Amino acid sequence: MGLRERKRQETRLCIEDTATRLFLEHSFDQVTLDEICADAGVSRRTFFNYFSSKDHVATGSLPPPLDEPAFEYVAKLNPQPDAAGGAQRDAFFAELLNFIGSLRAKHSATEEICALNPELSKAVAQRRGKIMLHNPTLAAAKLGTYEQLRSRLRDAVASNLKAYPNHRITPADPGAEPLSLDDQALCIVSAITSALWTSSILATQEGRPVTLDRIHATTAALTQVYRGCASSSTPPRKGHHTP
């Protein structure tokens, strides 16, 4: 890491540390942007080089930006299976995960600075959890931002499934009616965002940035869970109770 990049990350972490500490010592509504800047020793202009608002510094990084070209890429994504003869649908799922995962990893490397000071970064993350617990509107706003991204991504995946039938999910029971394309898209997007979300939590706990390797490892672990749940979809035996 170069000296300039290190300085940039130190400044960002200082602002995050100062803001989250003040929000808990007083309250989110009572702390002003000028107070954050004064305590952190930065100007308002410097603050806005790193965060778009007081809400942003309180809740942390926003989802990785996906612009129209990215959504168009997803809608037209049609990778070929590997030489081993895998299914085209699986190749689509894998490439979609790699594309979104790479954006998430790049975002983590540039916007999240766990590696600079893991202990302080973990403390900031924990404070943010408390801040959002005490300020439900902040949590709702951040969730809304993620839901907008999920909805737009779902539309792009649905367009892909319409264009490429081989990418569609087939029912486990041959006699069952397949899900609608919109519902299939929701399942695909939910599975991928679940892996990304879980990877983010694990990375924060470890004080490390999210990497594509971490996302792949998390996806493999969740796949085992899903596979086990799917294999246990038969009615419970007599004497067994469901919650």
Residue 8 sits in a domain whose CATH number is 1.10.10.60
Residue 224 maps to a domain: yes
Up-side HSE of residue 81: CA atoms within 13 Å toward CB? 10
Same domain, 68 and 122: yes
Residue 241 maps to a domain: no
Model pLDDT for residues 66-120, shown as the tens digit of each residue? 889 999 999 999 998 775 556 889 999 999 999 999 988 887 776 655 556 778 8
- Once rounded to an integer, what is the mean pLDDT over residues 187-207? 83
Task: Give 55-122 as a 3 state SS string.
Answer: HHHHHCCCCCCCCHHHHHHHHHCCCCCCCCCCCHHHHHHHHHHHHHHHHHHHHHHHHCCCCCCHHHHH
Q: What pLDDT sits at residue 202?
A: 80
Residue 243 maps to a domain: no
Domain of 41 in residue numbering reads as 1-54
Residue 217 maps to a domain: yes
Same domain, 182 and 83: yes
Same domain, 105 and 197: yes
Same domain, 49 and 64: no
- Under 8 Å between Cβ of 116 and 13: yes
Same domain, 71 and 40: no
Identify the H or E element spanning 197: helix 181-206
Domain final residue pick, 11, 36, 54? 54
Same domain, 38 and 98: no
Same domain, 150 and 202: yes
pTM of structure: 0.72
- Once rounded to an integer, what is the mean pLDDT over residues 213-228? 92
Same domain, 36 and 81: no
Q: What pLDDT sits at residue 171?
A: 85
Q: Pick from 176, 193, 194, 184: which is nearest to 159 by CA?
A: 184
Same domain, 68 and 175: yes
Structural domain count, the chain: 2
Same domain, 47 and 83: no
Give me the chain's average pLDDT, please.
85
